[in-house]
Amino acid sequence: MEEKDILQEEVVEEKVETAENSENQNKVEEKVEKPKRKSKTQAEMQRLVEENEKLQNYAQRMKADMENIKKRNENIARDMYNDGKQDAILAFLPVVDNLERAMELEMPDGIKDGLSKVKKQIETIFERMNITEIESLGKEFDPNLHNALMQIDDEANSGKCVQVYEKGYKIKDKILRHASVVVAK
């Protein structure tokens, strides 16, 4: 064989090897799979989805904030109403005290009957408004309910309220006015 034929055979063999190598390389690349690039529309769609989620979260937070503000305003309105009611009752209590003092005085029966009817109306109003008198006479002294004006010596009733100067009142569990009492020691 001639030299030319040998060279051609070598070139053919190289081409076959190169073709085989490139086929193998393609197979390897197919297995590795390059990450797919997102198209512009897919990227835009992803951005819009994320923005939508952010806006929905923001809307939910705003809704919760509005509900909290509504509850807070309702509480403030209720407290203001109760404070106004309490102030009105406190201004009215001295009138009730004077009415009770007047009923203890000697007077004609017609006047006494009229005063007792007024007192009954006041008691009805107090009952409707959940205002109750703090029971004090003969009860143990309680600084949460009573205001001690003085102490007297009385061993039989030690620690008890023996005289009431001014009745105390409460709405449910809230003290409107402490009872002013004399306590035995």
Strands 146-152 and 179-184, sheet pairing: parallel
Instruction: Identify the DSSP state of 139.
Output: S
Give the DSSP letter of residue 101: H
pLDDT of 136 reads 92
Q: Strand 168-171 vs strand 131-134: parallel, antiparallel, or unpaired?
A: antiparallel
Would you tell me how many other CB atoms lie within 10 Å of the CB of residue 55? 10
Per the listing, tokens 């197979």 go with: 27
Q: What is the pLDDT of residue 9?
A: 59
Note the pLDDT tens digit of each residue in 158-185: 899 999 999 999 998 889 999 999 999 8
- Interval 104-108 mean pLDDT: 88
Arithmetic mean of pLDDT, 126-155: 92
- Residue 39: pLDDT band with limits 50, 70, 90: confident
Q: Which residue has the higher pLDDT, 2 or 167?
A: 167
Whole-number Å distance between alpha carbons of 173 and 179: 14
Q: What is the pLDDT of residue 83?
A: 87
Q: What CA–CA distance (Å, rounded) separates 143 from 145?
A: 5
Mean pLDDT across the stretch 39-59?
A: 93
Which 3 state secondary structure label does DSSP give 151?
A: strand
What is the value of pTM for the model shown? 0.60
Reading the block at residue 141, the tokens are 């002294």
Q: In the chain, helix, strand, coil percent, each to 5?
A: 65, 20, 20
Query: How does the average pLDDT of the chain come out, rounded?
Result: 85
pLDDT of residue 10: 57
Pick from 114, 90, 85: nearest CA to 102:
114
Q: Where does the chain show beta strands of DSSP type E?
A: 131-134, 146-152, 161-166, 168-171, 174-177, 179-184
Question: pLDDT tier at 8 (50, 70, 90 boundaries)?
Answer: low
